[in-house]
Copies of this chain bind each other. A is one copy, B any other.
Amino acid sequence: MSLVVVGSVAFDAIETPFGKTDKIIGGAATYISLASSYFNNKVNLVAVVGGDFPKSDIKMLQGHGVNTAGLQIKENEKSFFWSGKYHNDMNSRDTLVTELNVLGTFDPIVPDEYQDCEYLMLGNLAPSVQSTVIKRLKKRPKLIVMDTMNFWMDVAMKDLEHTLSLVDVLSINDEEARQLSKEYSLVKAAKKIMAMGPKVLIIKKGEHGALLFNKDQVFFAPALPLEEVFDPTGAGDTFAGGFIGYLASTKDISFDNMKRGIIYGSAMASFCVEKFGVERIVDLSTAELESRVQQFVDLVQFEIRIG
């Protein structure tokens, strides 16, 4: 198997009711790569950073088996920077700063050694950049998973529709699903969105879990009830990373295996929110991960004999 991850590698500055950070490593592809690295020895990254991006952070990614052959470093430019402040309920946030910098002209390079890609994860990015990566792969991957956000629905809907028509799985949150489908009911929304291209749809509901739709099948994965959510930044990307990472490592894209992927993704995301940024997911042990997955099993396990 070969897993390619595309997305932003960037700086974040985060403020929550529990404190604030300086510029720390962030970006969709960072979270996705780290999360999927717990399931795969090698994760092939496609991204761009500026000359200001610390070599130590790149080394940290490499230490997780992330292949940075597809990471462009534009020495004279600056990395993408996002800054946000979460409200007390942790469910809403204000964006304080968005500096596109290198991301404004991102032309993704797909190294030759990535051409055997079987699993492609398109992290949130301009949909035209996402479709460019698909085009630059000579052979279509076995599974293409895509994340996006409402911003692209507002400013690049045509591009988004095109990219949607090319992918197998779309992962978005409930608010985005409603905006994309113009339906309030998530069941109705799912039907409309699956008619736009993706055969499988994941709707993330944050602290309320996630839904997985496939034709007439639906699976629900809970979120772990936590005492405290410290910083939700990157939780959705970490979820996606756990999901694609698990699928790529097991080489099984059946609906039943996607259910397991959703549980692993949810487990990874539950770690992510426990500390600022990537702090909690840079150094997880196998025992920690297994014990967390067991908590998910226990959380929903019941036995009913019907009839």
**CB of A299 within 8 Å of the partner chain:** yes
**CB of A297 within 8 Å of the partner chain:** yes
Cβ A209 vs Cβ B188 within 8 A:
no
Instruction: Give the residues in chain B near A226, CB-CB below 8 Å.
Output: 185, 187
**CB of A253 within 8 Å of the partner chain:** no
Instruction: Give the residues in chain B near A227, CB-CB below 8 Å.
Output: 185, 187-188
Chain A positions 242 through 282: 1 when the CB is less than 8 Å from some CB of chain B, otherwise 0: 00000000000000100110010000000000000000000
For window 157-212 of chain A, which residues contact chain B by CB distance below 8 Å? 184-188, 205, 208-209, 211
Cβ B219 vs Cβ A256 within 8 A:
no
Cβ B220 vs Cβ A263 within 8 A:
no
Copies in the complex: 2
**CB of A293 within 8 Å of the partner chain:** yes
Cβ B293 vs Cβ A297 within 8 A:
no
Instruction: Give the residues in chain B near A89, CB-CB below 8 Å.
Output: 184
Cβ B260 vs Cβ A219 within 8 A:
no
A225 and B306 contact, Cβ closer than 8 Å, known pairs A208-B205, A219-B299: no
Cβ B211 vs Cβ A260 within 8 A:
no
Instruction: Give the residues in chain B near A306, CB-CB below 8 Å.
Output: 290, 293-294, 297
Instruction: Specify the chain B residue showing the minimal Cβ separation from A305.
Output: B260
Instruction: Give the residues in chain B near A218, CB-CB below 8 Å.
Output: 225, 299
**CB of A88 within 8 Å of the partner chain:** yes
A299 and B220 contact, Cβ closer than 8 Å, known pairs A211-B225, A306-B294: yes
Binding site for B on A (CB under 8 A): 88-89, 184-188, 205, 208-209, 211, 218-222, 225-229, 256, 259-260, 263, 290, 293-294, 297, 299-304, 306-307
| Cβ contacts A to B, 12 pairs, < 8 Å | A185-B226, A187-B225, A208-B208, A208-B209, A209-B209, A220-B222, A220-B299, A222-B300, A259-B302, A263-B304, A290-B307, A293-B304
